[in-house]
A and B are shown apart, each in its own frame.
Chain A
């Protein structure tokens, strides 16, 4: 039986990041993740908050909540789990590698929501350890939305699941430097992509999708999305913080990219659908990126590449249910 932590209000993500910054001793990963559900019983969305999110992401303001907005609502609950004393992985520096959202039916802005989040894993990954944060939104006991966010810890290793080819990267190298920055630089040279399915998704699709957009992403996009989503992860806000995590400059929030890509299809989305995305490479700010889209048998496929269209940054698949 899982422990249930009932929150008395929506946590503030920025304060949680501050907590996450303080160093602490964590329990060993081998003991697994805490068996815990974080539960917020009542949450009601304000039109102004949804409107501000819609404007930054490109959604039209309708009576229905964008399905990615429900991820935004569950994210502070995810952080509550991941910043707990007994969570074995350090949340800062983790990479959001993939995300799946299933909208079972549209949720209206005024509907009272119950949110539940738990962690699943850890799973071994060739570049570290993956955990899944599994979220649900309910209206009057009816499940209306499910989300699964997979985060990669590049510093942790799980016994037995480690890919021996890459294990040396976490040890000191010849010049004595070590740690996540070095690790990241090496792996970027060695591999075409960073994501979970990176090497498979690294090249544009075999049949090229037609270009359906050229997005000019301004340097303050991270700050703008942080203001409407509450996700104030410093790698999106501050170039120095981004450098500390091995990035040349700030990067766009993966969930902004996801939301903006989904917004292209907003008027065409069915009432019930599953949208799966992979964050293959970081989207640097500022930059100009190319969006391509295609209709599939049961929905839509989309990908974001660099402007020259030879490097895939993000892929998305939407399927009607």
Chain B
């Protein structure tokens, strides 16, 4: 371990997040990722520079975009000889990319890298039905016009119905909100608590925009200068009027207001070896100290789909010897307000920490004033793969402002019952 180098977060850039069908309705994933990379290149003078590697990805991805990141690099101001690769781990995509690239820098394989993510709910891939797809593959293989005609004769009108991407888990058929609704009920999370958290997210994000916090984190794109889902004037009273959309029965509490909105956007983070950054007089904000990915067996309903980050947190804290209270900021991705509240409740529960996580004592409670202090996904929006980079970029700046040695914890849940947790520390 003594030979490891120091990988640092130099800075970040994202485009403001748009609402589905909003400002970025005409933009593709490549367009948005290129815009985010170009803003990063402009901010840190990387135009024409050959970087070590760019790792980014999207969750909703067209099959033609298998080389999405490389194509975005070729479209960007970066040197065309900059290599790139695609990564995908649902909503943890860009944070995973950042952890991977940070580690490659630490072992000396790279000096500078960009981690990112992008997603468009507006320009989502629509697939043909499985049956039509198989027929078309056979059609392509058919040699004679007669064979082609015979193959085409197999097409039924029902085959022509397009398949739009669903947020449903493949193995359960439950969408993410329905899964969270089961966990929300299990933990007894109230509607009021969810609406309070959602209102706070909007108010905190609005305040951060007003204070200029995002001035060096965001580059406007296609006329959008602020996150489109943000509603600065929302309130607990307004949110309380919304009808539940997830869950069954009178106790259903999850609404469009306390669930993350479908959105479009892209985010990037610049990572570098510390000496590389300092020699170019670039900022040295923070570093990824350690990270842990966990997955839970949600398939039989024994554990909530979005509870994996709690498991990852327990293991990460156990490994690093830190207590949950040893952090200055907590960034818990707001997939749903209830996801954050279930995470907090699980950390505090002695029974859960003992029986499920195998801990001697509960992880405990945190100071809520340190949680998502500049808002999170409920207000900013959640272009799935971009969220990790948005959080990491903002947190690195917050920690640098707070001072050397200050620490932040990021917790991101992901589809498939997965979760990624990272410890970030100011340089």
Residues of A with Cβ closer than 8 Å to B?
Answer: 55, 209-216, 220, 264, 291-295, 300, 307-308
Complex-state Cα separation, A291 to B173, whole angstroms: 10
* Interface segment, one of B14-22, B204-212, B299-307, B317-325: B299-307
Contact present for A212 and B299 (CB under 8 Å): yes
Contact present for A292 and B248 (CB under 8 Å): no
The 4 closest A-B pairs by CB, nearest first: A210-B301, A212-B301, A213-B172, A293-B300
Question: Is the C-beta of B171 less than 8 angstroms from some C-beta in chain A?
Answer: yes
Please encode chain B, from 239 to 255, with 1 for each CB lying within 8 Å of some chain A CB and 0 for all others. Answer: 00000000010000000
Q: Which residues of B (150-192) have their CB < 8 Å from a CB of A?
A: 158, 171-174, 178, 182
B340 vs chain A, min Cβ distance (A): 22
Return 12 A-B CB contacts under 8 Å, by A number: A210-B301, A210-B302, A211-B301, A212-B172, A212-B300, A212-B301, A220-B158, A264-B300, A292-B301, A294-B300, A295-B300, A307-B248
Contact present for A209 and B248 (CB under 8 Å): no
Question: Is the C-beta of B215 less than 8 angstroms from some C-beta in chain A?
Answer: no
Complex-state Cα separation, A213 to B169, whole angstroms: 9
Contact present for A211 and B173 (CB under 8 Å): no
Please report whether the interface of chain A is mostly helix, strand, loop or mixed according to DSSP. strand
Q: Which of B130, B172, B300 has the most CB of A within 10 A?
A: B300
Please report whether the interface of chain B is mostly helix, strand, loop or mixed according to DSSP. loop
Contact present for A293 and B301 (CB under 8 Å): yes
Select one of A209, A264, A307 contacting B171, CB under 8 A.
Answer: A264
Residues of B with Cβ closer than 8 Å to A?
Answer: 130, 158, 171-174, 178, 182, 248, 299-302
Contact present for B174 and A214 (CB under 8 Å): yes
Complex-state Cα separation, A22 to B302, whole angstroms: 51
Which residues in B have their C-beta under 8 angstroms from that of A220? 158
Which residues in B have their C-beta under 8 angstroms from that of A307? 248
B355 vs chain A, min Cβ distance (A): 15
Nearest A residue to B166 by beta-carbon distance? A216
Complex-state Cα separation, A211 to B174, whole angstroms: 10
Contact present for B299 and A214 (CB under 8 Å): no
A61 vs chain B, min Cβ distance (A): 14
CB-CB under 8 A for A264 and B301, given A210-B182, A213-B173, A213-B174: no
Contact present for B173 and A215 (CB under 8 Å): yes
Which residues in B have their C-beta under 8 angstroms from that of A55? 130
Contact present for A209 and B301 (CB under 8 Å): yes
Complex-state Cα separation, A308 to B247, whole angstroms: 11
Complex-state Cα separation, A210 to B174, whole angstroms: 13
Complex-state Cα separation, A214 to B178, whole angstroms: 9
Complex-state Cα separation, A219 to B158, whole angstroms: 11
B251 vs chain A, min Cβ distance (A): 14
Nearest B residue to A263 by beta-carbon distance? B171
Which residues in B have their C-beta under 8 angstroms from that of A291? 172-173
Nearest A residue to B131 by beta-carbon distance? A224
Complex-state Cα separation, A210 to B181, whole angstroms: 13
Select one of A209, A214, A295 contacting B172, CB under 8 A.
Answer: A214
Contact present for A216 and B173 (CB under 8 Å): yes
A110 vs chain B, min Cβ distance (A): 23
Complex-state Cα separation, A220 to B301, whole angstroms: 28
Contact present for B182 and A211 (CB under 8 Å): yes
Contact present for B248 and A308 (CB under 8 Å): yes
Complex-state Cα separation, A77 to B23, whole angstroms: 62
Which residues in A have their C-beta under 8 angstroms from that of B299? 212, 264
Which residues in B have their C-beta under 8 angstroms from that of A215? 173
A213 vs chain B, min Cβ distance (A): 4
Complex-state Cα separation, A295 to B172, whole angstroms: 16
Which residues in B have their C-beta under 8 angstroms from that of A294? 300
Which residues in B have their C-beta under 8 angstroms from that of A210? 182, 300-302
Which residues in B have their C-beta under 8 angstroms from that of A216? 173
Which residues in A have their C-beta under 8 angstroms from that of B172? 212-214, 291
